[in-house]
Amino acid sequence: MPTNRRITLAGRPEGFPDESDFRLEEASVPQPGPGEALVRIAFVSVDPYMRGRMRNKASYAPPMGLGEVMTGGAVGKVIESNDPQLQAGDIVEGLLGWQEYAAVRLHEVRKVDPSLAPISTAVGVLGMPGMTAYFGLLEVGKPKPGDTVVVSGAAGAVGSIVGQIAKICGCRVVGVAGSDNKIGYITRELGFHAAFNYKTVTAYDGKLKELCPDGIDVYFDNVGGSVSDAVWRQIALRARIVVCGQISQYNLEKAETGPRQLFQLISKRARAEGFLVGDFRQHYPEAMGRMAAWIREGRLKYHEDIAEGIENAPHAFLDMMRGKNLGKQLVRVSDV
């Protein structure tokens, strides 16, 4: 009988987490009860929001308990089912956690059409990160043709898609990312109009002025901190600031203080708005259909960095938090 290898939360990190905050455990493969199906997981996702759930502090979602299986999106194949609406062979996606098998109910998963794209995309460009890019940019950022759009975290799962959707909308796109390799990827492969490496450029204000001479109409903020402080100082009249993520702050025990920027909102009559992707859930199918069409037409590209084996999920997560990933960071758990 195979076992279910899974990663549980072993500690609550202070500052940057490390591998000792996670534990690899073996359990028996769950037996699906009445109305349940057994899923063999193919890919699990590692995402920045998981850092917040490792804290013992309620946010928009409750914290994970010590000893619990790490939360996380995953995609896999139904191998046994006691629900006629979930058939063996169906591909499903949901919050199945960092493990090899999960017993699920119909309402906990969505069925994935494997003819649209490789199934890994169900937790990437055609999953939560892709939906974040799509709704954050289009519904919160409201880009118009000719706008200058700046995106931080520009080579990651969300940012790389934001920039390309902005291009599809007819915008000029400037990316900010943390390595020359990433800058090369987003400008040469993805067609961003300009980009800079925030780890080697020190004068952010001057660089942004040079790359965005007419000011910044939309800022898609994935990182916060000093990069965002500089962007705020360059916003154009009636700019929209999409507050998607603040990853530069996630491992700090004490919140950073920075320049107070709210006067920029007054003088530029601008708007800053946060959002949670889940608020747009009912519109996912339409967005996924559009995004899948853009992929087929070659207008939307995506890259996946794939670690192998559930035992490597903590390492993949830590590498992603350090910026080692290009595009979406995944972990392959099995070939389903």
Phi then psi dihedrals of residue 83, to 5 deg: -130, 120
Region near ligand NAP per CB under 6 A, out of 1-9, 46-54, 106-114, 212-220:
46-54
Nearest approach, Cβ of residue 131 and ligand NAP (Å): 8
The token pair at 171 is 């915008």
Least spacing, CB of residue 39 vs ligand NAP, in Å: 23
Rounded to a whole number of angstroms, the minimum distance from the CB of residue 137 to ligand NAP is 12
Rounded Cα–Cα distance for residues 313 and 46 (Å) = 7
Let me know: does 309 contact 20? Beta carbons within 8 Å: no
Nearer to ligand NAP by Cβ, of 38 and 320: the residue is 320
Give whichever of 29 and 174 is closer to ligand NAP, judged by the CB atom.
Answer: 174
- What tokens were used for 149? 């759009």
What is the per-residue burial (b if ≥16 Cβ within 10 Å, else e) of 196-214?
bbbeeeeebeebbeebbee
Task: Please state, in angstroms and rounded to a whole number, the distance separating the CA atoms of residues 230 and 203.
Answer: 9
Is 61 or 88 the residue whose CB approaches ligand NAP more closely?
61
Tell me whether residue 265 or residue 275 sits nearer to ligand NAP (CB atom).
275
- The separation between CA 261 and the C-alpha centre of its own chain, rounded to angstroms, equals 26
Q: Which is nearer to ligand NAP, 36 or 93 (CB)?
A: 93
- CB-count burial class (<10 Å; 0-12, 13-18, 19+) for 33: exposed
Task: Report the C-alpha gap between 194 and 100 in whole angstroms.
Answer: 41
CA–CA separation, 35 and 47 (whole Å): 30
Q: How many chain residues bind ligand NAP (CB under 6 A)?
A: 29
Give Cα 57 to chain centroid, integer Å. 21
Applying CB under 6 A, which part among 14-22, 77-85, 97-105, 150-158 lies near ligand NAP? 150-158
Asked if 331 and 315 touch (Cβ cutoff 8 Å), the reply is no
For ligand NAP, the closer of residues 216 and 330 by Cβ is 330
Does 95 bind ligand NAP (CB under 6 A)? Our answer is no
Q: Where in 201-220 is the site for ligand NAP (CB under 6 A)?
A: none
User: Under the criterion CB under 6 A, does residue 100 sit at the interface with ligand NAP?
Assistant: no
Give least dist CB 276 to ligand NAP, A. Answer: 4
178 touches ligand NAP by CB under 6 A = yes
Q: Based on CB atoms, which residue is closest to ligand NAP, 101 or 284?
A: 284
How far is CA 85 from each of CA 35, 81, 118, 291, rounded to the nearest angstrom? Answer: 9, 9, 23, 26
Question: Of residues 214-273, which lie at the interface with ligand NAP (CB under 6 A)?
Answer: 222-223, 225, 244-245, 247-248
d(CA 175, CA 156): 11
Q: Is 255 exposed, middle or buried (0-12, 13-18, 19+ CB in 10 A)?
A: exposed
- Name the minimum Å distance from CB 229 to ligand NAP: 12
Q: Write the CB contacts of 267 (distance below 8 Å, at least 6 apart in sequence).
A: none
158 touches ligand NAP by CB under 6 A: yes
Say whether residue 156 binds ligand NAP (CB under 6 A): yes
Task: Kindly tell me which of 21 and 47 has the beta carbon lying closer to ligand NAP.
Answer: 47
Q: Minimum CB separation from ligand NAP for residue 295, in Å? A: 17
Told to check if 50 binds ligand NAP by CB under 6 A, we report no
- Per-residue binder mask for ligand NAP (CB under 6 A), 15-34, x = binder: --------------------
Structure letter (DSSP) for residue 28? E
Site residues, ligand NAP (CB under 6 A): 47-49, 129, 132, 153, 155-159, 177-179, 182, 222-223, 225, 244-245, 247-248, 275-277, 320-321, 323, 325
